[in-house]
Structure 1
Amino acid sequence: MEPILISPLIIIAVVFVVYRQMQRRPTAKRGILFTATAMIVVGIASGGAVDPRHLALSLCLVLVEAVIAVALGVWRATTVRVWLDDSGVSWSRATAWTMLVWLASIAIRVGLYFAGGALGLELSTGGILLFVGLTIGAQAYVVARRGRALSSMDRRPDTVVG
Protein backbone atom coordinates (compact mmCIF):
# COMPACT_ATOMS: atom_id res chain seq x y z
CA MET A 1 0.00 0.00 0.00
CA GLU A 2 1.08 3.54 -0.63
CA PRO A 3 2.34 5.41 2.46
CA ILE A 4 0.09 8.36 1.59
CA LEU A 5 -2.94 6.04 1.88
CA ILE A 6 -1.91 3.91 4.86
CA SER A 7 -0.60 6.70 7.12
CA PRO A 8 -4.02 8.30 7.71
CA LEU A 9 -5.49 4.84 8.35
CA ILE A 10 -2.85 4.17 11.01
CA ILE A 11 -3.59 7.51 12.68
CA ILE A 12 -7.34 6.86 12.60
CA ALA A 13 -6.86 3.38 14.05
CA VAL A 14 -4.65 4.65 16.90
CA VAL A 15 -7.05 7.50 17.72
CA PHE A 16 -9.97 5.04 17.74
CA VAL A 17 -8.10 2.59 20.00
CA VAL A 18 -7.11 5.34 22.44
CA TYR A 19 -10.67 6.71 22.44
CA ARG A 20 -12.05 3.23 23.20
CA GLN A 21 -9.53 2.79 26.02
CA MET A 22 -10.83 5.96 27.65
CA GLN A 23 -14.29 4.36 27.82
CA ARG A 24 -15.35 1.90 30.52
CA ARG A 25 -15.02 -1.57 28.94
CA PRO A 26 -15.17 -5.19 30.11
CA THR A 27 -11.67 -6.67 30.16
CA ALA A 28 -12.87 -9.99 28.71
CA LYS A 29 -13.59 -8.52 25.26
CA ARG A 30 -11.11 -9.78 22.67
CA GLY A 31 -11.91 -7.55 19.69
CA ILE A 32 -8.84 -5.39 20.19
CA LEU A 33 -6.61 -8.47 20.01
CA PHE A 34 -8.04 -9.24 16.57
CA THR A 35 -7.38 -5.65 15.51
CA ALA A 36 -3.80 -5.85 16.78
CA THR A 37 -3.25 -9.17 15.01
CA ALA A 38 -4.62 -7.74 11.76
CA MET A 39 -2.25 -4.77 12.04
CA ILE A 40 0.72 -7.08 12.63
CA VAL A 41 -0.22 -9.32 9.68
CA VAL A 42 -0.77 -6.36 7.33
CA GLY A 43 2.45 -4.75 8.55
CA ILE A 44 4.43 -7.89 7.72
CA ALA A 45 2.55 -8.68 4.50
CA SER A 46 2.89 -5.16 3.12
CA GLY A 47 6.66 -5.55 3.21
CA GLY A 48 9.17 -2.86 3.86
CA ALA A 49 9.69 -3.67 7.54
CA VAL A 50 13.06 -5.09 6.49
CA ASP A 51 15.33 -3.32 4.00
CA PRO A 52 16.96 -5.99 1.79
CA ARG A 53 19.85 -3.64 0.97
CA HIS A 54 20.79 -3.47 4.68
CA LEU A 55 19.44 -6.78 5.92
CA ALA A 56 21.37 -7.19 9.19
CA LEU A 57 20.88 -3.57 10.27
CA SER A 58 17.17 -3.52 9.43
CA LEU A 59 16.56 -6.86 11.18
CA CYS A 60 18.25 -5.49 14.30
CA LEU A 61 16.11 -2.35 14.15
CA VAL A 62 12.91 -4.41 13.69
CA LEU A 63 13.87 -6.54 16.70
CA VAL A 64 14.57 -3.44 18.81
CA GLU A 65 11.28 -1.89 17.69
CA ALA A 66 9.36 -5.08 18.53
CA VAL A 67 10.85 -5.27 22.04
CA ILE A 68 10.16 -1.57 22.64
CA ALA A 69 6.60 -1.89 21.28
CA VAL A 70 5.80 -4.75 23.65
CA ALA A 71 7.47 -3.00 26.61
CA LEU A 72 5.51 0.19 25.98
CA GLY A 73 2.26 -1.80 25.71
CA VAL A 74 2.96 -3.50 29.03
CA TRP A 75 3.85 -0.15 30.61
CA ARG A 76 0.59 1.41 29.37
CA ALA A 77 -1.36 -1.60 30.65
CA THR A 78 -0.06 -0.94 34.17
CA THR A 79 -1.55 2.56 34.03
CA VAL A 80 -5.05 1.32 33.13
CA ARG A 81 -7.54 1.12 35.99
CA VAL A 82 -9.00 -2.39 36.35
CA TRP A 83 -11.78 -3.24 38.80
CA LEU A 84 -14.63 -5.64 39.53
CA ASP A 85 -18.25 -4.60 39.59
CA ASP A 86 -20.77 -5.99 42.08
CA SER A 87 -21.51 -8.99 39.86
CA GLY A 88 -17.82 -9.96 39.58
CA VAL A 89 -17.25 -8.73 36.01
CA SER A 90 -13.89 -7.05 35.48
CA TRP A 91 -13.81 -3.65 33.79
CA SER A 92 -11.04 -1.34 32.61
CA ARG A 93 -10.58 2.29 31.75
CA ALA A 94 -7.49 4.21 30.72
CA THR A 95 -6.23 7.00 32.97
CA ALA A 96 -4.41 10.27 32.36
CA TRP A 97 -1.18 8.31 32.92
CA THR A 98 -2.18 6.00 30.08
CA MET A 99 -2.48 9.01 27.80
CA LEU A 100 0.97 10.25 28.82
CA VAL A 101 2.49 6.86 28.07
CA TRP A 102 0.67 6.85 24.71
CA LEU A 103 2.35 10.17 23.93
CA ALA A 104 5.71 8.72 24.96
CA SER A 105 5.03 5.67 22.75
CA ILE A 106 4.30 7.85 19.75
CA ALA A 107 7.40 9.99 20.35
CA ILE A 108 9.60 6.90 20.67
CA ARG A 109 8.15 5.37 17.49
CA VAL A 110 8.70 8.59 15.54
CA GLY A 111 12.26 8.66 16.85
CA LEU A 112 12.84 5.07 15.73
CA TYR A 113 11.36 5.87 12.32
CA PHE A 114 13.76 8.75 11.79
CA ALA A 115 16.68 6.82 13.28
CA GLY A 116 16.14 4.17 10.60
CA GLY A 117 16.15 6.86 7.95
CA ALA A 118 19.33 8.38 9.36
CA LEU A 119 20.98 4.93 9.21
CA GLY A 120 20.15 4.77 5.51
CA LEU A 121 17.26 2.33 5.77
CA GLU A 122 14.29 2.66 3.46
CA LEU A 123 11.32 3.91 5.49
CA SER A 124 7.98 2.12 5.22
CA THR A 125 4.57 2.08 6.81
CA GLY A 126 4.74 -1.71 7.25
CA GLY A 127 7.10 -1.23 10.18
CA ILE A 128 4.75 1.31 11.73
CA LEU A 129 1.79 -1.09 11.46
CA LEU A 130 3.88 -3.85 13.01
CA PHE A 131 4.90 -1.58 15.92
CA VAL A 132 1.36 -0.33 16.53
CA GLY A 133 -0.11 -3.84 16.36
CA LEU A 134 2.45 -5.20 18.81
CA THR A 135 2.04 -2.36 21.30
CA ILE A 136 -1.77 -2.44 21.21
CA GLY A 137 -1.80 -6.23 21.45
CA ALA A 138 0.60 -6.28 24.42
CA GLN A 139 -1.47 -3.70 26.27
CA ALA A 140 -4.76 -5.49 25.61
CA TYR A 141 -3.31 -8.84 26.68
CA VAL A 142 -1.93 -7.50 29.97
CA VAL A 143 -5.14 -5.61 30.81
CA ALA A 144 -7.17 -8.78 30.10
CA ARG A 145 -4.83 -10.82 32.34
CA ARG A 146 -5.20 -8.27 35.12
CA GLY A 147 -8.98 -8.52 34.79
CA ARG A 148 -8.89 -12.33 34.90
CA ALA A 149 -6.63 -12.19 37.96
CA LEU A 150 -9.14 -9.99 39.77
CA SER A 151 -12.01 -12.25 38.78
CA SER A 152 -10.23 -15.40 39.94
CA MET A 153 -9.27 -13.79 43.25
CA ASP A 154 -12.91 -12.84 43.76
CA ARG A 155 -14.04 -16.43 43.22
CA ARG A 156 -11.57 -18.12 45.58
CA PRO A 157 -13.29 -19.92 48.42
CA ASP A 158 -12.55 -18.65 51.89
CA THR A 159 -10.31 -20.84 53.97
CA VAL A 160 -12.14 -22.99 56.46
CA VAL A 161 -10.95 -22.62 60.02
CA GLY A 162 -11.08 -25.56 62.36
Structure 2
Amino acid sequence: MNSVETGLLILLVLAFVIYRQFKTRPADRSSIFYISAVVIVIGLVSGGLFDPDHFALSLAFLAAEGVAGVGLGILRAMTVRIWADAQGVAWSKGTVWTLLAWLASIAVRVIEQVAGTSMGLTVTTGGILIFVGLTLATQALVVSRRARALPGSAARSYNVER
Protein backbone atom coordinates (compact mmCIF):
# COMPACT_ATOMS: atom_id res chain seq x y z
CA MET A 1 0.00 0.00 0.00
CA ASN A 2 1.53 3.31 -1.02
CA SER A 3 1.47 6.41 1.14
CA VAL A 4 -1.42 8.03 -0.75
CA GLU A 5 -3.61 4.96 -0.27
CA THR A 6 -2.61 4.75 3.38
CA GLY A 7 -3.33 8.43 3.89
CA LEU A 8 -6.77 8.00 2.37
CA LEU A 9 -7.38 4.96 4.59
CA ILE A 10 -6.42 6.98 7.66
CA LEU A 11 -8.73 9.84 6.69
CA LEU A 12 -11.63 7.49 5.95
CA VAL A 13 -11.26 5.62 9.24
CA LEU A 14 -11.00 8.85 11.22
CA ALA A 15 -13.96 10.46 9.45
CA PHE A 16 -16.07 7.34 10.02
CA VAL A 17 -15.12 7.02 13.69
CA ILE A 18 -15.53 10.71 14.48
CA TYR A 19 -18.90 10.82 12.70
CA ARG A 20 -20.16 7.79 14.65
CA GLN A 21 -19.01 9.22 17.97
CA PHE A 22 -21.54 12.01 17.60
CA LYS A 23 -24.44 9.60 17.15
CA THR A 24 -26.24 8.21 20.18
CA ARG A 25 -25.00 4.62 20.42
CA PRO A 26 -24.68 1.84 22.97
CA ALA A 27 -21.57 2.62 25.01
CA ASP A 28 -20.33 -0.92 25.40
CA ARG A 29 -19.41 -2.24 21.97
CA SER A 30 -16.45 -4.13 20.64
CA SER A 31 -16.47 -3.36 16.90
CA ILE A 32 -14.06 -0.45 17.32
CA PHE A 33 -11.49 -2.83 18.81
CA TYR A 34 -11.50 -4.84 15.57
CA ILE A 35 -11.09 -1.69 13.50
CA SER A 36 -8.25 -0.55 15.78
CA ALA A 37 -6.52 -3.92 15.55
CA VAL A 38 -6.69 -3.90 11.75
CA VAL A 39 -5.28 -0.36 11.60
CA ILE A 40 -2.42 -1.28 13.97
CA VAL A 41 -1.59 -4.46 12.01
CA ILE A 42 -1.53 -2.51 8.74
CA GLY A 43 0.78 0.01 10.41
CA LEU A 44 3.10 -2.74 11.60
CA VAL A 45 3.27 -4.63 8.30
CA SER A 46 3.69 -1.48 6.22
CA GLY A 47 7.23 -1.26 7.56
CA GLY A 48 9.49 1.72 7.92
CA LEU A 49 8.71 2.23 11.61
CA PHE A 50 12.37 2.64 12.45
CA ASP A 51 14.86 4.87 10.69
CA PRO A 52 17.99 2.71 10.24
CA ASP A 53 20.20 5.79 10.39
CA HIS A 54 18.67 6.90 13.73
CA PHE A 55 17.43 3.64 15.23
CA ALA A 56 17.48 4.64 18.93
CA LEU A 57 15.91 8.02 18.23
CA SER A 58 13.19 6.52 16.04
CA LEU A 59 12.46 3.86 18.68
CA ALA A 60 12.12 6.55 21.37
CA PHE A 61 9.99 8.65 19.04
CA LEU A 62 7.67 5.70 18.30
CA ALA A 63 7.29 5.08 22.04
CA ALA A 64 6.48 8.75 22.63
CA GLU A 65 3.90 8.64 19.85
CA GLY A 66 2.33 5.58 21.49
CA VAL A 67 2.15 7.30 24.87
CA ALA A 68 0.61 10.39 23.25
CA GLY A 69 -1.95 8.22 21.42
CA VAL A 70 -3.01 6.49 24.63
CA GLY A 71 -3.15 9.75 26.57
CA LEU A 72 -5.21 11.51 23.92
CA GLY A 73 -7.56 8.50 23.73
CA ILE A 74 -8.15 8.78 27.49
CA LEU A 75 -8.70 12.53 27.19
CA ARG A 76 -11.30 12.10 24.44
CA ALA A 77 -13.04 9.28 26.31
CA MET A 78 -13.51 11.55 29.32
CA THR A 79 -15.35 14.09 27.15
CA VAL A 80 -17.96 11.61 25.88
CA ARG A 81 -21.38 11.84 27.52
CA ILE A 82 -22.45 8.48 28.98
CA TRP A 83 -25.78 7.66 30.60
CA ALA A 84 -28.01 4.69 31.36
CA ASP A 85 -31.63 4.54 30.24
CA ALA A 86 -34.54 3.12 32.29
CA GLN A 87 -33.70 -0.42 31.19
CA GLY A 88 -30.09 -0.02 32.30
CA VAL A 89 -28.61 0.16 28.81
CA ALA A 90 -25.57 2.45 28.74
CA TRP A 91 -25.46 4.98 25.90
CA SER A 92 -22.77 7.37 24.71
CA LYS A 93 -22.55 10.43 22.53
CA GLY A 94 -19.70 12.78 21.73
CA THR A 95 -19.85 16.38 22.89
CA VAL A 96 -18.34 19.62 21.69
CA TRP A 97 -15.44 18.83 24.02
CA THR A 98 -14.98 15.53 22.19
CA LEU A 99 -14.66 17.38 18.91
CA LEU A 100 -12.14 19.79 20.45
CA ALA A 101 -10.19 16.83 21.86
CA TRP A 102 -10.16 15.26 18.37
CA LEU A 103 -8.81 18.50 16.93
CA ALA A 104 -6.14 18.54 19.66
CA SER A 105 -5.27 14.91 18.83
CA ILE A 106 -4.83 15.76 15.17
CA ALA A 107 -2.74 18.83 16.05
CA VAL A 108 -0.50 16.77 18.33
CA ARG A 109 -0.02 14.19 15.58
CA VAL A 110 0.92 16.89 13.05
CA ILE A 111 3.36 18.41 15.56
CA GLU A 112 4.89 14.96 16.09
CA GLN A 113 5.33 14.55 12.34
CA VAL A 114 6.99 17.95 12.00
CA ALA A 115 9.22 17.29 15.03
CA GLY A 116 10.26 13.90 13.66
CA THR A 117 11.11 15.38 10.30
CA SER A 118 13.07 18.24 11.88
CA MET A 119 15.12 15.69 13.87
CA GLY A 120 16.06 14.02 10.61
CA LEU A 121 13.80 10.99 11.00
CA THR A 122 12.16 9.41 7.99
CA VAL A 123 8.42 9.78 8.59
CA THR A 124 6.23 6.91 7.38
CA THR A 125 2.53 6.20 7.45
CA GLY A 126 3.06 3.08 9.57
CA GLY A 127 3.62 5.20 12.65
CA ILE A 128 0.49 7.22 11.91
CA LEU A 129 -1.58 4.04 11.62
CA ILE A 130 -0.26 2.70 14.90
CA PHE A 131 -1.04 6.04 16.58
CA VAL A 132 -4.59 6.02 15.19
CA GLY A 133 -5.20 2.40 16.19
CA LEU A 134 -3.89 2.91 19.72
CA THR A 135 -5.81 6.10 20.32
CA LEU A 136 -9.09 4.62 19.02
CA ALA A 137 -8.73 1.44 21.08
CA THR A 138 -7.87 3.41 24.22
CA GLN A 139 -10.85 5.72 23.83
CA ALA A 140 -13.21 2.79 23.27
CA LEU A 141 -11.83 0.94 26.29
CA VAL A 142 -12.22 3.93 28.62
CA VAL A 143 -15.75 4.72 27.35
CA SER A 144 -16.71 1.07 27.85
CA ARG A 145 -15.31 1.03 31.38
CA ARG A 146 -17.09 4.26 32.25
CA ALA A 147 -20.35 2.76 30.96
CA ARG A 148 -19.93 -0.38 33.06
CA ALA A 149 -19.30 1.78 36.13
CA LEU A 150 -22.63 3.61 35.84
CA PRO A 151 -25.02 2.90 38.71
CA GLY A 152 -27.91 0.79 37.46
CA SER A 153 -26.23 0.04 34.17
CA ALA A 154 -26.76 -3.38 32.62
CA ALA A 155 -23.56 -2.92 30.60
CA ARG A 156 -21.58 -5.06 33.04
CA SER A 157 -23.82 -8.11 32.61
CA TYR A 158 -24.22 -7.44 28.86
CA ASN A 159 -20.45 -7.40 28.38
CA VAL A 160 -19.89 -10.61 30.35
CA GLU A 161 -22.51 -12.55 28.38
CA ARG A 162 -20.84 -11.89 25.03
**Normalization by structure 1: what TM-score?**
0.92
In structure 1, distance between residues paired with 2:136 and 2:118: 27
| Matched residue, 1:106 | 106
Secondary structure at the aligned position of 1:154 is classed as coil
RMSD of aligned alpha carbons: 1.2
Which 4+ runs in 1 deviate beyond 6 A? none
Q: Distance in 2 between matches of 1:94 and 1:49?
A: 32
Structure 1 distance, partners of 2:52, 2:141, is 32
**1:20 Cα offset (Å):** 0.4
Does residue 154 of structure 1 match 2:152?
Answer: yes
Partner of 1:159: none
What is the distance in 2 between the residues matched to 1:149 and 1:48? Answer: 40
1:54 aligns with 2:54: yes
Structure 1 unaligned runs (5+)?
A: 156-162
1:1-150 paired onto structure 2 within 5 Å = 1-150=1-150
Could you say which structure has the larger radius of gyration?
Answer: 1
Shift of 1:25: 0.8
- TM superposition shift of 1:48: 1.5
Give the conservation status (yes or no) of the 8 Å contact 2:76–2:139.
Answer: yes
Cα drift, residue 113 of structure 1 = 0.8
Residues in 1 aligned to 2:37 and 2:5: alpha-carbon distance in whole angstroms: 20
CA shift at 1:26, angstroms?
A: 0.5
Q: How far 1:7 sits from its partner (Å)?
A: 0.4
What TM-score do you get using the length of structure 2 for normalisation?
0.92
Tell me, in whole angstroms, the C-alpha distance in 1 between the residues paired with 2:118 and 2:2: 21
CA–CA distance in 2 between the matches of 1:29 and 1:56?
38
> What is the alpha-carbon distance in structure 2 between the residues aligned to residue 56 and residue 7 of structure 1?
26
How many pairs does the alignment contain? 154
**Any gaps of 5 or more consecutive residues in structure 2?**
154-162
CA distance in 2, matches of 1:28, 1:97: 20
